[in-house]
Amino acid sequence: QRVLTDLVSLVRVALHEEDELVSYPDVVRERYRAWLLSQENAGHLFTPEQLAWLERIRDHVSASLGITVDDFEYTPFREAGGLGKAAQVFGDNLGPLLDELNEVLTV
């Protein structure tokens, strides 16, 4: 999957959507940092447990080009309690949060 995510970066440079070739995981990490900062500036602070889940989600998106609730059946989510635990940690915000992260991190 690393080849696929790096191919996305290469295509973006070729289409002049990006000026510089940067690995897709690096792009996702930078977008995640910016998103997290915007959340903090808006007054939305995450708990340490939520941040751990958000980092798992970020890492998954950087390797898989996105995330769905089905992905919570697999490593590393399963080891952390899977979809049930994620739903407990984020409540009703889990679905909208995944949608937002897919949009923000993969654009």
pTM of the model: 0.82
pLDDT at 25: 87
When pLDDT is cut at 50, 70 and 90, the band that residue 98 belongs to is very high
pLDDT at 34: 98
Per-residue pLDDT tens over the stretch 5-50: 566 656 655 666 666 667 888 889 999 999 999 999 999 999 999 9
Domain boundaries, the chain: 24-106
What DSSP assignment string belongs to the chain?
-HHHHHHHHHHHHHTTS-SS---HHHHHHHHHHHHHHHHHHTT-PPPHHHHHHHHHHHHHHHHHS---GGGGGSTTTGGGTHHHHHHHHHGGGHHHHHHHHHHHHH-
